[in-house]
Amino acid sequence: MEMKTDIVIVGTGVGGLFSALNLPRDKQIVMITKEDMQSSDSFLAQGGICVLRGEEDYSSYFEDTMKAGHYENRKESVDIMIRSSREVIDDLVDCGVEFERQNGEFVYTREGAHSKPRILFHEDITGKEITSKLLEQVKKLPNVAIYEYTAMTDILERAGRCHGIVAKTKAGEEMEIWADYTILASGGIGGRYRHSTNYPHLTGDAIEIAKKHGIRLEHLDYVQIHPTTLYSKKSGRRFLISESVRGEGAVLYNKRKERFVDELLPRDVVTKAIEEEMEKDGTDFVWLSMEHIDKETILGHFPNIYRHCLEEGYDVTKECIPVVPAQHYFMGGIWVDCDSRTSMDRLFAVGETSCNGVHGANRLASNSLLESLVFAKRAAAAIDGEIKGKGCRRDE
């Protein structure tokens, strides 16, 4: 099977969807996704999305991001993300996304390694709220066709330029999708790990394909472990206990119910402390207590976490829950510039698939949705500029 389109996008998470929404409406777009449209990690994000609250917040937001990333971040990319954050939030609101408000004003929360509250949220399902609303908007576009249960197996390369992708359907039928431009937004690598918060089908396919074609990769060893996922002996994806729970006052205890770490330190620091405590105590988990958070806040801000834990037999309003670190996020990936261009002409990458340097060696909480959206919009703008002859192609 062979088809021709103007632009092909691999992935239906926020990166792929926001790219589609910002591309020219007169261009035909084909989107594919390995499973169904809702099975992307973007839907799973609990905590929220960061935003610059004002110029007085810039320095601390920049420093918080750099510090969490061990100062290995690309400063230009961090600056672009922060400066673009308010515009992206406005775009999301225009798409129907609802963030927590009080008396008409946004409510901001704080998470680990943030020096002040700057995170917008929708209960504890912010990713689902954002991604579902973007998907609704994309489905309305007459120039976009979405193919579910279709996995990319290769890219089409001619003379060092990307001309689209090769994909395989669930029935095993191979498709060649020829396109003037290709955007890779296929998510992370969690499916390669025994314990991960990611969907198991996210196995870093784009990374393997890029490596095969000699496309530049960066920081493949930068993998983030989330400190607090609900401990379970069941197989499958681990349920994440959002960092915003600790931001609201939850504390970590060892088996003797003693605190052993500052819960608001960066994720890698908290993870290391938990692992050391488990090894010292000979346990498979530590305890997370929400005793310092009032019941109204738990039910209002964290209803999904409350319900899920209850299904597992834990009432977080009355008792501690067992938590354990698990693979969560991939900071490395396909190298891209500040407009999401890869090292191959006509090939772009956004979201967790890409590495634009924003996160450095360790992502700051709630920067992932924002980073994906900002650089997806920039990818769309760069493609639009090239189509109109205003941008610079690599062969020029």
Q: Encoding tokens for residue 106?
A: 């946004």
CA 55 centroid distance within chain: 25
Give yes or no: 267 in active site. Answer: yes
3-state DSSP assignment of residue 383? helix
* Sequential DSSP letters for 355-392: E-SSSTTSPPTT-HHHHHHHHHHHHHHHHHHHHTT-S-
Q: Which residue has the tokens 């095993």?
A: 172
Q: How many angstroms separate the CA atoms of 292 and 281, rounded? A: 25
Q: Tokens representing 160?
A: 């060092």
Residues in the chain, overall count: 396
Angstrom CA distances, 274 to 197, 225, 259, 260, 269, stand at: 17, 11, 11, 8, 9
Helix residue ranges, H only, 95-204: 126-139
| Other C-beta atoms lying within 10 Å of the C-beta of residue 161 | 14
Q: Which residue has the tokens 């169904």?
A: 36
Q: How far apart, in Å, are the Cα atoms of 162 and each of 154, 218, 321, 344?
A: 11, 19, 49, 7
- Residue 66 has a CB neighbour count (10 Å cut-off) of 16
Q: Which is catalytic among the residues 238, 267, 363, 378?
A: 267
Provide the annotated active-site residues. Answer: 267
